[in-house]
Amino acid sequence: MNASYSSLAIYEVQSNQAVISTLSVTNEECVLSGGWVIPITNSEDIKNILTDKLTIPVNKNTETKKLEKDLGLKSVSFADFFLEATRESKIAVEQYEAFKAENPGKRKKLVAPDFYLWPEEIDVLHPKAELKRLNLRESISGTDPAMEQVLSAARLVKFFVDKWLSDESERSNRKFVQGEAKQATPLPASWKL
């Protein structure tokens, strides 16, 4: 991840094929940027797609674990993501309250920041259940059955990255937010390569 761009790969290995979906993330947006079902024997293509990306495996089977180990992939944790997002929101709210308290009469109509209420964890291995819990469409009709798990997980990841980007915009555009909290990033610092 650099200061303004990051790339994520959501993947699994099933039936002797790697199934991969990628997301491109900038400070402004997160987009689904690719999807592949590749025979596991085509290791060079798989390596080219997954290398230099933050990865999220959506299966704990032996083949998926082997691919992660063989390629030395950097997997990221939603627990870390949510912990950092919650902490950043809390810092901005504290800065808002301190700023308002400096001059309560003049700043009584100051609008409080509105941040997403972050969960502690999600189960990326069961993305359809998580999407349903969030009142989002669990799957897209016409999706290749081989891609369904990975695409649902990619949509789930995109949902939370979009919430992060919204919070980053809310944070960085406030006069009272100072220091490191003012610097917007496409993903939390805990999700670095």
> Helices then strands (H, E): number in the chain?
5, 5
- Identify any residues that bridge with 4 across adjacent strands, giving them in sequence order: none
What is the pLDDT tens value at each position of the chain, 193 positions in all? 456 889 999 999 998 999 999 999 999 999 999 999 999 999 999 999 999 999 999 999 999 999 999 999 989 999 999 999 999 899 888 988 998 899 888 888 888 889 999 998 999 999 999 999 999 998 888 889 999 999 999 999 999 999 999 999 888 887 777 666 567 789 998 898 6
Q: What pLDDT does residue 162 have?
A: 97
164 close to 17: Cβ distance less than 8 angstroms: no
pTM (global) more than 0.85: yes
Q: What is the pLDDT of residue 39?
A: 97
Query: What H or E segment, with its residue span, contains residue 35?
Result: strand 30-39
Report the pLDDT value the prediction gives residue 1, as an integer from 0 to 100.
46
CB atoms within 10 A of CB 21: 26
What is the C-alpha to C-alpha distance for residues 105 and 38, in angstroms, rounded to an integer? 63
Listed residue (41, 48, 1, 34) closest to 18, CA to CA: 41
* Three-state DSSP class for residue 81: helix
